[in-house]
Amino acid sequence: MVWTSARSRTAPAAVRERGRMRDVPPIAFGSKMGPLPTPALCGQSWEGFDVWWEDAVAGMHGVEFAIPFPSRISPEDQDAVTRRNVDWLSGHGLLRTGEMTERYLTMGLAEFAMRLYPTAVGPRLDMALDTLAWAVFVNDQLDGELGGDPQQVAGVVRELIAITAGPLGRSHGAGHPLVAAWADVWARQCAGMSEEWRRRAAGHWRLWFSGAIALAADRARGGAQPLHDHLQVRRAWIGAGAFSDLVEAAGGFEVPEELWDSVQWQGIQEACGDCLGMLNDVFSLAVDESTGRLHNTVVLLRRERGMSRGEAVAEVVEMARAAIDRWQRLQLDLPAVYEAFSLSAEQRRAAELFLGGIGTMVRANYDWYRHSGRYAPEFHRDGPAYAAALPSMAEAVDGSA
Please give the model's pTM, rounded to 2 decimal places. 0.83
* Phi and psi angles of residue 20, each rounded to the nearest 5 degrees, phi first: -110, 155
**187, 168 contact by CB (below 8 A):** yes
Residue 15 pLDDT? 25
* Exposure string over 272-294, b if 16+ CB within 10 A, otherwise e: bbbbbbbbbbbbbbbbbbbbebb
**390, 143 contact by CB (below 8 A):** no
CA dihedral angle for residue 130, residue 174, residue 242, residue 116, rounded to 10 degrees:
10
**Residues near 388 by beta carbon (within 8 Å), at least 6 away in sequence:** 100, 382
Residue 10 pLDDT? 28
**338, 231 contact by CB (below 8 A):** no
Distance CA 51, CA 44 (A): 10
Residue 144 pLDDT? 76
The H-or-E segment that residue 31 falls in is none
Residue 393 pLDDT? 75
Question: Which segments in the chain show pLDDT lower than 50?
Answer: 1-59, 399-401
Residue 280 pLDDT? 95
**175, 159 contact by CB (below 8 A):** yes
The H-or-E segment that residue 347 falls in is helix 345-369
CATH superfamily of 39-396: Farnesyl Diphosphate Synthase (1.10.600.10)
Distance CA 100, CA 137 (A): 12
**198, 190 contact by CB (below 8 A):** yes
Nearest to 181 by CA among 113, 87, 103: 87
How is residue 76 annotated by DSSP? S
Q: Could you state, in order of their start, the residue ranges of all structural domains in the chain? A: 39-396
Residue 145 pLDDT? 76
User: How many CB atoms neighbour CB 213 within 10 A?
Assistant: 19
DSSP 185-208: HHHHHHTT--HHHHHHHHHHHHHH
User: How many CB atoms neighbour CB 79 within 10 A?
Assistant: 9
Residue 58 pLDDT? 44
Residue 169 pLDDT? 67
Distance CA 311, CA 316 (A): 9
